[in-house]
Chains A and B, each alone.
Chain A
């Protein structure tokens, strides 16, 4: 189909045994979602639209210490929590796009995994309403506003709204979890267009206050040393281990709120960039990773809790159909397929996404 899906770089969420969910979140999301759908005046929406990807600032001179920090799994009972969010475009209207957002948190405690999924929330975003939607949600969930930040473009809105949801889930986790390890999907870079420094700072502060350690895993990194990705060409050393990086600085306003490591946690070929909160003591950082190793299951060096969070929030094709059915049956929006111009012009050579 014509649907493109983005996973947002970030993670966390809230509390265990019985997490108390802030119900205003879903209420506000629902209200804005339904209001936006009611604004579809022309009863057609089209599928297929190409998306843009935004890039991060290139960092300055990065060095990788070649001496690994060996790790020993610690089996001391520790709660592991993870958060992820996902967005998908489910169609277009003549005035905008229809998108869906969903967030998921997963926590592992006493050898059991549990999850909470929030959403999907469906929005009709137009040039006219994008500002009000974004600002309204931001106002509702974050005490600090990012007033200086420019309003996202229409095509940036899916990622930005998903990011907003994910950051909110992260802050809830940071506030409600105690003595745990919070796994984020992505990095700990602040000052970007969608993550103001003060917001990420607030999340990390709350986590520290409750004696949590935030570990942010990046599935893919663009950081290179001598032309090679930092997760490649690793020393032959028995796993698990971490490699420290130094000298990593971004041009303002981008700020790194964590220290960057390369984590090779299993014998597999896979290694990941791991950001750990800068404000945490070195020994605590190592201990946190060791507790993670002792308390979670790993597949391809990637923690299962975070993998589940990703799986649970990702939209499947039949969910997209269901949401299109919802838009159509509840709001009378007829779905029309827009012809794929690549296919139309280039036939079998016109693969979507290739220029």
Chain B
């Protein structure tokens, strides 16, 4: 390989067919005289602009058809050399760091010698060693092209905002399950908003037996084994549900607050009493109607109960997870849009309460297709306020434009699967921790189950990995008619 050109933080390297460099590979451009080296990553592979190529192709074009066939007598065997030149490629590489005295720095302001530099491939293992992508809590994501295991550290996910995105069927949920069970393995508390009920069997192996996580997975099905009684609710949580999920206007909210406090003071906070109080409320007819309609929504959701034996407290599940770790799967599969929002408001409100009161240290929240249940204002809340309480969110989506731009800009880690749509790639490339060229060039060519890992977990050295398989029962497959 030979260094050909450098423009900004892009270098172009001439590579010959036997050198086998591909997109995503890392190379070291070593200048021995300067005692420095550039660490670059191949983001595109193009044909080298060899002069005379057009003539050569035009000439051979007719050989491929019935038009002209023939024989080449090439006693000196020059043909392989011609092929060698014709197949030369130009590697477009992004400078990732400078290596000097075994230390990496983001400096790319120097120019290595074009004639003297030696260019060699850098294995992922060596890169991880140089970049110190290691730690005491390893999570093996999968294998890289050179058969090295890409291992990230669980602490690199701690306190971070993560996004897992890619087009449908490329393995997003699989990776999120991998991360989730790895975190549970390290005794972390994980909460999952499971839109399609695909995490509910995560405690089972593929052949239906219990796996080591079985006792740590707590599946809560709203209106079934997950109900709450009103007296267990904090007023703020209820107000959140009414205002944000059920869009209760301000005046009516004030009246509701008064009714709630009155019932609370009398220790009569039940659904029946609340309904009665709203009916008998001495207030404007419109306010009463507004409160009555919200009450019906709450009561029809089946999520609230006056039977305390039915009420399964989220607090209890969280307490179970607190010491040995565990995952609370909120199964939103058979829940209507409004009920879903009620449940999510409740869970988030409870989590904030628990974290504020230090009942919980921190929680990892996995939210699939969050735009279907998160209200607008929660996005910013999650990435700013809730992060400080200790809610560390991972968004999983196949529609990257449903996640707000501010989320991308503040994302610490992005696990990117294949996208072919230019618009989707544009959205993802707004992430602050990565350059648009890398995202667009590499993500477009990722095979299924292959993920481009970007951000803090890989110390800002984007790496492509084939996500390893895990022995858990998968529930996220599309139901098919013809199979």
Interface residues of A (CB under 8 A from B): 1, 21, 26-27, 29-30, 33-34, 106, 112-122, 308, 311-312, 314, 316-323, 325-326, 329
Contacts and interface: CB of A to CB of B under 8 A. Distances in A.
B52 interface: yes
Given A113-B67, A325-B84, A319 B56 contact: yes
Given A311-B59, A320-B52, A116 B70 contact: yes
22 contacts: A26-B75, A27-B75, A33-B76, A106-B70, A113-B69, A115-B71, A116-B70, A116-B72, A116-B73, A119-B75, A120-B78, A122-B78, A314-B55, A316-B53, A317-B51, A317-B55, A318-B51, A318-B53, A319-B78, A323-B78, A325-B84, A326-B76
A119 B69 contact: no
B7 interface: no
A175 to B, nearest CB: 18
Interface string B47-89: 0001111011001000000111111111110100110111000
A228 B272 CA distance: 115
B72 A318 contact: no
Contact of A316 (B52, B73, B76): B52
Contacts of A114: 68-70
Given A27-B75, A122-B76, A322-B78, A317 B50 contact: yes
Contacts of A116: 70-73
Contacts of A320: 52
B51 A117 contact: no
Contacts of B68: 106, 112-115, 308
A318 B73 contact: no
Contacts of B56: 316, 318-319
Contact of B55 (A1, A120, A316, A325): A316
B85 A322 contact: yes
Contact of A317 (B52, B69, B74, B76): B52
B157 to A, nearest CB: 50
Nearest to B51: A317
B59 A30 contact: no
Given A27-B75, A29-B75, A318 B70 contact: no
A88 to B, nearest CB: 11
A112 B65 CA distance: 11
A121 B85 contact: no
A227 to B, nearest CB: 36
> Which of B51, B52, B67, B84: most chain A CB closer than 10 A?
B52
Nearest to B56: A316
Contacts of B50: 317-318, 321
Interface of B: 50-53, 55-56, 59, 66-76, 78, 81-82, 84-86
Contacts of A30: 75-76
Nearest to B68: A113
Contacts of A113: 67-69
Given A115-B70, A116-B71, A311-B59, A1 B76 contact: no
Contacts of B76: 30, 33-34, 119-122, 326
Nearest to A117: B72
B75 A326 contact: no
Contacts of B67: 113
Q: Which 10 A-B pairs have the closest CB atoms?
A: A317-B52, A115-B70, A316-B52, A317-B51, A322-B81, A322-B82, A30-B75, A113-B68, A318-B52, A318-B50
Nearest to B70: A115
A320 B78 CA distance: 10
Contacts, number: 91
Contacts of B70: 106, 114-117, 312
B85 A325 contact: yes
B85 A316 contact: no
B75 A21 contact: no
A118 B70 CA distance: 11
A117 B79 CA distance: 12
Contacts of A323: 78, 81
> Which of A21, A26, A319: most chain B CB closer than 10 A?
A319
A27 B73 CA distance: 11
A21 to B, nearest CB: 7
Contact of A21 (B66, B73, B82, B84): B73
B75 A325 contact: no
A112 B69 CA distance: 8
A104 B53 CA distance: 20
Contact of A26 (B55, B69, B73): B73
B75 A121 contact: yes
> Which of B67, B81, B84: most chain A CB closer than 10 A?
B81
A114 B69 CA distance: 5
A26 B82 CA distance: 19
Contact of B73 (A119, A308, A317, A322): A119
A119 B51 CA distance: 21
Contacts of B55: 314, 316-317
Nearest to A326: B81
Contacts of A325: 81, 84-85
A322 B72 contact: no
A26 B77 CA distance: 12
Nearest to B86: A318
Given A113-B67, A308-B68, A319 B82 contact: yes
Contacts of B85: 318, 321-322, 325
Contact of A318 (B66, B71, B74, B82): B82
Contacts of B53: 316, 318
A33 B66 CA distance: 34
B82 A1 contact: no
Contacts of B81: 322-323, 325-326, 329
B73 A326 contact: no
> Which of A27, A34, A321, A322: most chain B CB closer than 10 A?
A322
A191 to B, nearest CB: 31
Nearest to A311: B59
Contacts of B52: 316-320
B78 A1 contact: no
Given A117-B73, A319-B78, 17 more contacts: A114-B69, A117-B70, A117-B72, A120-B74, A120-B76, A317-B52, A318-B50, A318-B51, A319-B56, A320-B52, A321-B50, A322-B78, A322-B84, A325-B81, A325-B85, A326-B76, A326-B81
A165 to B, nearest CB: 12
Contacts of A312: 59, 70
B59 A112 contact: no
Contacts of A27: 75
A331 to B, nearest CB: 11
A121 B74 CA distance: 8
A222 to B, nearest CB: 28
Nearest to B48: A318
Contact of A112 (B66, B75, B82, B84): B66
Contacts of A321: 50-51, 85
A106 B71 CA distance: 10
A21 B68 CA distance: 19
A1 B73 contact: no
A326 B82 CA distance: 9
Nearest to A308: B68
> Which of B51, B68, B69: most chain A CB closer than 10 A?
B68
A121 B72 CA distance: 12
Contacts of A118: 73
B51 A1 contact: yes
